[in-house]
Amino acid sequence: MTTKHSEHIYPVFDRMLQRSDKEKLLKQRAKVIWMTGLSGSGKTTIALGFERLLYNKGFLTQVLDGDNIRSGINSNLGFTEEDRAENIRRIAEISKLFVNCGVITINCFVSPTIAIRENAKQIIGEQDFVEVFVNTPLEICEQRDVKGLYKKARAGEIKNFTGIDAPFEAPVNPDIEIKTENKTIEESVQELADKILPLIQI
Amino acid sequence: MTTKHSEHIYPVFDRMLQRSDKEKLLKQRAKVIWMTGLSGSGKTTIALGFERLLYNKGFLTQVLDGDNIRSGINSNLGFTEEDRAENIRRIAEISKLFVNCGVITINCFVSPTIAIRENAKQIIGEQDFVEVFVNTPLEICEQRDVKGLYKKARAGEIKNFTGIDAPFEAPVNPDIEIKTENKTIEESVQELADKILPLIQI
């Protein structure tokens, strides 16, 4: 049976592709793994290791972090309270698109307040949102200071820096907590994998 | 070999996953298929049929259109000139994320001006941007008027409606042109598929 454009412009073919179709194609269940923690806590490091581990098992993932978000879609946002909220809102909406495409999305953002993470969770949907607290003591993050941000914050060159002159509200009841202190990266990645794999395997 | 968090926070494992790794996993080459044309020209109809056709061949796709963009990430944008430009900029940035994840992205937006499409192309990258002109005469789009928008535009209830009181600048040299008049949806979809498949097959 063929359908004339003029007869039916909307109901095409059987039906629109669903997320479940894409998950079936990918042989995985999509989730948004939301990594929260201080700057330097190891969020991106663990995420990239975890992505590699999942890739080796045949999973399709997308890491979202400052590198691909702040330089791209959110390049027109600053660091006012309003812009920070909009930053997270857009990230959550993008994550929702990816998860609806069947892709496991791994987000690495400080996302320092309970309210901001709650907002992300509401947009993404509770059932798809996995909160991971990358718990590294401030002293250790500051010792590492990979990007030199803590030094600048201490010198007053950066204002409202989380952990220094802006609060970090730790998750009260995170789905997963990774304490990185005295662990290798591989151990942290493996700990995350042990908890996430049951959620994404079909 | 294991790596201490404190020693190397950045260079994890072998190296960061690349787009090419994901394309390999998906056994496809990613592209952004940018469908431009009047409201009611058949962009989304063709896109959804095309997505289904690709799915049946094992390709992973993401359709972006007003339904999932205007109601989500771009819900805080209106229809001023500035907001329309920001609308397309964000869509292009999201497309770039998807294409970097190896996903074939099919975008359905009127995107009425050469400048606006050129901007999208610059953000996405020329080599990944496939411009598809869904060419349906205004009279036919207006006859269909699936959403009743042309009627409202004629009645002056909607201002700056493309084709009525705002111009549509047809692509001068589109990569693909689909003339839908006197074609079934299936024929239009097949025509698109014949041209796109060589670009996405590995």
Q: What is the pLDDT of residues A78-123, one digit of tens each?
A: 888 899 999 999 999 999 999 999 999 999 999 999 999 999 999 9
Residue B24, pLDDT above cutoff 80: yes
- Mean of the pLDDT values across residues B77-99? 94
> Domain extents for chain B?
19-138+167-196
Q: Do B42 and A2 touch (CB under 8 A)?
A: no
Architecture of the structural domain at A19-137+167-200: 3-Layer(aba) Sandwich (3.40)
Q: What's the CA gap between A138 and A135, in Å, rounded? A: 9
- What CATH architecture is B19-138+167-196? 3-Layer(aba) Sandwich (3.40)
Give the chain B residue nearest A100 (alpha carbons).
B62
User: CB of B158 within 8 Å of any CB in chain A?
Assistant: no
Nearest to B52 among A13, A96, A103 (CB): A13
- Candidate from B64, B98, B184 with C-beta closest to A3: B184
On the question of pLDDT at B15 being above 80, the answer is no
Between β-strands A129-135 and A32-36, what pairing exists: parallel, antiparallel or unpaired? Answer: parallel
CA distance A162 to A119: 19
- Are residues B179 and B135 in contact, defined by beta-carbon separation less than 8 angstroms? yes
- What is the distance between the alpha carbons of residues A161 and A159, in angstroms, rounded to a whole number? 6
Q: Which residue of B has its CA nearest to A57?
A: B25
What pLDDT, on the 0 to 100 scale, is given for residue B14? 53
Q: How does pLDDT run across B55-67, given as a tens digit for each residue? A: 999 999 999 998 8
Mean pLDDT of chain A: 92
Asked if B21 has any chain A CB less than 8 Å from its own CB, the reply is yes
Measured between beta carbons, the chain B residues lying within 8 angstroms of A140 are 6
**CB pairs < 8 Å spanning A and B:** 147
Enter the pTM of the model.
0.92
CB contact under 8 A, B55 and A25: yes
Per CB-CB distance under 8 Å, the chain B contacts of A60 are 22, 25-26, 60, 101-102
Q: Taking all residues of chain B, what is their mean pLDDT, rounded to a whole number? A: 92
Q: Is B111 a residue of the active site? A: yes
Residue among A109, A133, A124, A129 nearest A199 (CA): A129
Q: Of all residues in chain B, what percent carry a pLDDT higher than 70?
A: 93
Q: State which H helix or E strand residue A135 sits in.
A: strand A129-135
Cα–Cα distance measured from residue A90 to residue A94, given in angstroms and rounded to the nearest whole number: 6
Q: Is the dihedral of CA B114, B115, B117, B121 positive or negative?
A: positive
* ipTM of model over 0.90: yes
Instruction: Measure CB to CB from residue A21 to each of B55, B94, B185 and give the nearest one.
Output: B55
Show Cβ contacts of residue A188 under 8 Å, excluding neighbours closer than 6 positions. A42, A46, A49, A134, A178, A180, B5
Tell me if chain B has a CB within 8 Å of the CB of A56.
Answer: no
Least CA distance to B63: which residue of chain A? A101
Say yes or no to pLDDT of B11 above 50: no
Identified catalytic residue from A39, A41, A95, A111: A111
> Is the CB of A103 less than 8 angstroms away from the CB of B103?
yes
Q: Reduced to 3 states, what is the DSSP secondary structure of residue B143?
A: helix
How far, in Å, CA of A92 to CA of A105, rounded? Answer: 10
Helix (H) or strand (E) holding B90: helix B81-100
Q: What share of chain A is helix, strand, coil (3-state, %, to 5)?
A: 45, 15, 40
Distances (CA, A) of B78 to A4, A16, A70, B87: 33, 27, 23, 9
Contact (CB<8Å) A52/B13: yes
Percent pLDDT > 90 in chain B is 87
Residue B9 forms contact with A (CB below 8 Å): yes
Angle of helix A19-26 versus helix B43-56 axis, rounded to 10 = 30
A199: which 2 tokens? Answer: 């959620």
- Asked if A55 is an interface residue toward chain B (Cβ–Cβ < 8 A), one would say yes
**For B52, which of A17, A48, A183 is closest by C-beta distance?**
A17
Which residues 6+ apart lie within 8 Å of A23 measured at CB? Answer: A29, A30, A102, A202
Buried b (16+ CB within 10 A) or exposed e, B64-76: bbbebbeebbbee
Is the Cβ of B49 closer than 8 Å to some Cβ of chain A? yes
Q: How far is A33 from chain B (nearest CA, A)?
A: 16
Neighbours of B80 (CB within 10 A): 10
Q: Which two tokens stand for residue B19?
A: 């787009």
Facing B42 at nearest CB: one of A5, A61, A184: A5
Element (H, E) at A53: helix A43-56
Residue A101 forms contact with B (CB below 8 Å): yes
pLDDT range class, residue A14, cuts 50, 70, 90: low
- Report the amino acid identity of residue B153: A
